[in-house]
Structure 1
Amino acid sequence: MSLSTPVADLSWTWDDGVRVSATSDPHSPVLRRFFDGYDRAFILPDEREEFDGFVQCLALNETHRNAYGRRHCEVAMAFEDADGVLLGGANFLAATTAGDAPAPATVALNYVYVEAAARGRGLLRRILADVRRTALSVLDLDPDGPAPVLFIEQNDPLRLTAEAYAADSDHSGLDQVDRLAIWARIGARVVDFPYVQPALSAEQHPDDGLIYAAISYPGDAVPAALLRDHLQSFFGISVLKGEAEAPGGPAAQQLDALAARADPVALLPMAPALARLAATPRPDFDFFRDLAREACRHGDQGTGA
Structure 2
Amino acid sequence: MRIERLTDDATTGLFYRQVIVPSFPDEQLVTRESLVADLHSGVGEVFIVRDEAGTLLGGAVGSWYEAPRVMLLSYLAVAEEGRGTGVGTFLLGHLVRDWAQRYDPCLIVAEVERPDRHTGNPAHGDPEARLRFYARLGARALDLPYFQPALESQKARVHGMLLLLLHAAPKFADERAQSVAAGPLRDFLTEYLVATEREVAQQDPATSALWQGLDRAGGVAVRPVDRYEQIAAG
Using structure 1 for the length normalisation, give the TM-score.
Answer: 0.62
| Aligned pairs, number | 223
Partner of 1:91: 61
Aligned to 1:128: 92
SS at match of 2:132: helix
Q: CA deviation at 1:122?
A: 2.6
Corresponding residue of 1:171: 123
The residue identity in structure 2 corresponding to 1:267 is V
Q: Encode CA deviations 1:2-54: one digit per residue, 9 max, x unaligned.
A: xxxxxxxxxxxxxx5x241333xxx6333213313112211x23212221231
Partner of 1:55: 36
- Offset from partner CA, 1:80-108 (integer Å, 9 cap, x none): 1232210111111123466xxxxxx4310
Indicate the structure (1 or 2) with the bigger Cα radius of gyration.
1
Deviations 1:247-270 (A, max 9, x none): 437696477546755421011102
| Cα RMSD (Å) | 3.1
129 and 108 in structure 1: CA distance in 2 versus 1, 3 angstrom threshold = same
> Is residue 2:209 matched to residue 1:227?
no
Preserved CA contact (<8 Å) 2:9 2:36: no
- Could you give the per-residue CA deviations for residues 168-224 of structure 1, whole angstroms, max 9, x where no partner exists? 42224x432122112111112111011122211111111212111112546221111
Q: Which runs of 5+ in 2 are unaligned?
A: 171-176
Residues 1:83 and 1:233: Cα distance change in structure 2 (over 3 Å): farther
The one of 148, 151, 154 aligned to 1:197 = 148
TM superposition score normalised by structure 2: 0.79
Consecutive unaligned residues of structure 1, counting only runs of 5 or more, are: 1-15, 62-72, 99-104, 274-288, 295-305
Change (3 A) 1:170 1:259: closer
Match of 2:49 among 79, 95, 106: 79
2:45 and 2:194 map into 1 onto residues whose CA distance is 15
Quote the Cα distance in structure 1 between the aligned partners of 2:3 and 2:33: 25
Distance in 1 between residues matched to 2:163 and 2:218, nearest whole Å:
18
8 A Cα contact 1:232 1:255, kept in partner = no
Question: SS of the residue aligned with 2:27?
Answer: coil
Tell me, in whole angstroms, the C-alpha distance in 2 between the residues paired with 1:246 and 1:85: 42
Distance verdict in 2 for CA 1:258–1:159, change over 3 Å: closer
Structure 2 residue aligned with 1:292? 230
**In structure 1, what is the equivalent of residue 82 of structure 2?**
118
1:252-267 → structure 2 map (5 Å cutoff): 253=208, 257=212, 260-267=215-222
SS at match of 2:123: helix
Secondary structure of 2:14's match?
A: helix
**Corresponding residue of 2:12:** 31
